[in-house]
Amino acid sequence: MYPMLFGITFLDSEWLIGWFGSFVLIGVAAVIFVETGFIVLSFMPGDSLLFTVGLLTATGAVPFPIWITGIVVFIAAFSGDQLAYYIGRKAGPAVFSREQNRFFNPQNVERTNAFFAKHGGKSIIMARFLPVFRAFVPVAAGVGRMRYRTFVTFNVIGAFAWGVGLTLVGFFLGQIAFVAAYSEYFIIGIILLSGIPILTELTKATLANRRSRGQATVPEAVVPAELRE
C-alpha cells in the first residue's frame, strides 16, 4: 500500500496520473520539477512516473502527442536541476551540514561527494538515473561552484537522456499489448535496471573515499578543480 498525503497516493504513478486528470502534463511536470529541485522531496516517483506517462500516452489514456509530453518533461527536468544548482550556490555548505532528520540523511552527502569526486561532471548525467541522488548531485555542483556553463551543458544532456529517454521507453513499449497488460511489472523492472550500474559505481566510490580520507569530506571540494570557477 502506498503512503497517503492529504488523500493523495503520491508514490503510485498510475494513480497520480489519473488523479491529475485533464491537468496530467502540469501534474507530471510539477512532480519531476520538485523531485529534482528539492532534496526533501527527492523520494517522489520520478522514474516510474516518466515511464508510466509514456506508456499511457501510447495507449491513449494520456491524450497528448508524445512530442508535447517529451517537451514538457524535458523543461521540468532541466528546470529542477537548475533550481537545485542555484540552491547549492546560494546556501553553500550549510545545505550539506544539516542534522539528520526524516528527510535528510548525511550519509547521502558522503556518497554524493564520493560519486562526484570519481565521475566529475558526468555525475550530473549519471545521477539522473538514481533516485534521491539526482537531487543531491546538482546541489553539490552548486556548493562546489562548478562553472555554470559546464553545469548547464551536462544538465541539458541529463534532462534529455533521463526525462525524454524514459518517457520514450514507456511510449514504445506501451504499444506492445503484453507490456501494456503487465505495465506495473515493467515499471519496477525499468527502475531496477536503470539503478544497478549507478549503485555499483556509487558503492565503489564510497568505499574508495572512506579508505583514502582521514576526515569528513568538505562540501566545497566535491567538484574537481578543473570544473570549478
Mean pLDDT across 151-175 = 92
C-alpha cell at 141: 555542483
Mean pLDDT across 202-218 = 57
Question: What distance in Å separates the CA atoms of residue 45 and residue 226, rounded to the nearest whole number?
Answer: 34
Distance of CA 33 to the CA centre of its chain: 9
Mean pLDDT across 137-164 = 89
HEC profile for the chain? CCCCECCECCCCHHHHHHHHHHHHHHHHHHHHHHHHHCHHHCCCCHHHHHHHHHHHHHHCCCCCCHHHHHHHHHHHHHHHHHHHHHHHHHHHHHHHCCCCCCCCCHHHHHHHHHHHHHHCCHHHHHHHHCCCHHHHHHHHHHHCCECHHHHHHHHHHHHHHHHHHHHHHHHHHCCCHHHHHCHHHHHHHHHHHHHHHHHHHHHHHHHHHHHHCCCCCCHHHCCCHHHEC
Exposure of 133 in the CB half-sphere (CA atoms within 13 A): 24
Mean pLDDT across 43-61 = 84
- Is the pLDDT reported for residue 4 higher than 50? no
- Domain borders along the chain are 13-96+105-202
- Is the pLDDT reported for residue 158 higher than 80? yes
- Is the pLDDT reported for residue 57 higher than 70? yes
Q: Do residues 155 and 78 touch, judged by C-beta distance below 8 A?
A: yes
Q: Do residues 73 and 32 touch, judged by C-beta distance below 8 A?
A: yes
At 208 the pLDDT is 61
Q: Which residues contact 103 (CB under 8 A, 6 or more apart)?
A: 39, 40, 43
Could you read off the pLDDT of 65-123 as tens digits, one per residue? 999 999 999 999 999 999 999 988 887 666 666 665 554 555 666 666 666 667 677 88
Q: Do residues 160 and 76 touch, judged by C-beta distance below 8 A?
A: no
Residue from 120, 181, 110, 111 nearest 146 by CA: 120
Out of 17-26, 171-180, 181-190, 217-226, the most confident range is: 17-26
At 163 the pLDDT is 93
Q: Is 156 left (phi over 0), alpha (psi -120 to 50) or beta?
A: alpha
